[in-house]
Structures are given as C-alpha cells and as structure tokens.
Structure 1
Amino acid sequence: MNSRIVMRWDHIELLVPDRAAALAWYREWFDFVPIPQPDEWAKNGPIMVSPDGGDTKLALFTGEPQAAAEERGWRRVAFRVTAGEFAAFARRYRASGQTLQGPVDHQTAWSVYLSDPWGNALEVTTYDYAAGALTVSELS
C-alpha cells in the first residue's frame, strides 16, 4: 500500500501594496481572473485569481512585497506554457517596452524571466524544446 499523499499546487500567496492594481497586471499579462471566494475575504483576505478556472491560483494579499525584504520565503513563480504561448507572451511583453530577460536555454526547456511591478520574480517556461528553439530564433 502506498501511503504517499498526492500533492498538487493549489495557490501561491503574493504580497502586493494594491490588490486591484495587481489583479489588473496579472489579468493583462497572464489572463488571471478573479474566482469565487467567501464574502468574508472581501475586505482583508486575498483576491484569488486563476487562468484556468481555479486549478492554478495566486492569492493576492495586501502587504509589503517580498522583493523589498532581505530574505524571501520563495525565489520565483514559474508558469508553464506551450511554445506558441511562449512566443506570443515574449513578443507582447517586449513590445510593451517592459524588461524581459532571456530566452534562456535550459537544454530541455526555454525560459524568460521578469518581475511584476512589485518585484515578485516570475518565469515563463516551455518544455516544447524543439518548437521553443524556433521561437527563440525569432525573438533574438
């Protein structure tokens, strides 16, 4: 009998100074939208947002962003996308004039790196390595 618990990512909590501004930013760049949550959370709780109906969530709490702290509880949030989505995101983000680092070749995946306006480190990755290589040639 296997006694292991199957774990899945439920949510990642981010501290931001303005939940509404963070919602707008994550909606624009990652298609995150608010999902239903208890009324009790409206004032001081998080705004729960998701790009996939609630399977993958960010919890946007009001607070001092971890990027301002000397030590952080986590290093980066990485989002997995297809090669086509990777290319579309990188093109659109760069065209907006914002800073995007990469693409970086990880030998099995391609990644680009960015920060949200509050300094939270983010990564967009595709494991579609061959198609990603074609995308990278377009982005370089």
Structure 2
Amino acid sequence: MALFDREDAPKGSSLAFGTDAEGFVAWKDHLESEGLDLRLADHRLAYSLYFHDPWGNYHEITTYSRDEVAEKLG
C-alpha cells in the first residue's frame, strides 16, 4: 500500500485494520514508541486505536478480542 499527502483527500476518511489481541497490543506499543498521538477507544465490544500517520492519513486498528486486550492492558 502506498499512502500520499493529498490536499484534495476527503475529510473524515480512514483506513481500518483488524487484528487479534496480541497484534493490537504490539501495534499500540509500536505506535507509542514512534511518538504518534493515539486515541484508545473501548467500544464495549471491541477496542480501537485511532491515529494519524506522518502524512496526515487517518487510521484505525480494531480488535474484537476485547477481554484479552483488557487483561493485557491492565
């Protein structure tokens, strides 16, 4: 996948990716280590991480392994 900075990109669009609990926590740790501003959302059924990449593209990483993630996050 190639992502580019586009002035005419629709506002509010995002890419969403699904993962298991282990992948979710690994992505959270990695993105935090890169200094990205993350928003963690507990949707009661799933957890999602929302963030902008360095080019301004908006992304979501979601897992439906909610209980397992809650345990790993403490």
TM-score of the superposed pair, with normalisation by structure 1: 0.46
* Counterpart position of 1:92: 30
User: What amino acid is aligned across from residue 58 of structure 2 in structure 1?
Assistant: A
Q: CA deviation at 1:133?
A: 1.2
Where structure 1 has 5 or more consecutive residues not aligned to the other structure, the ranges are 1-48, 50-59
1:107 maps onto 2:44 in alignment: yes
1:126 maps onto 2:63 in alignment: yes
- Percentage identity across aligned positions? 30
Aligned residues: 74
Question: Could you tell me how far apart the structure 1 residues matched to 2:34 and 2:11 are?
Answer: 30
Where structure 2 has 5 or more consecutive residues not aligned to the other structure, the ranges are none
Question: Could you tell me how far apart the structure 2 residues matched to 1:113 and 1:61 are?
Answer: 17
Greater Cα radius of gyration, structure 1 or 2: 1
What is the Cα-based RMSD across aligned positions, in Å? 2.2
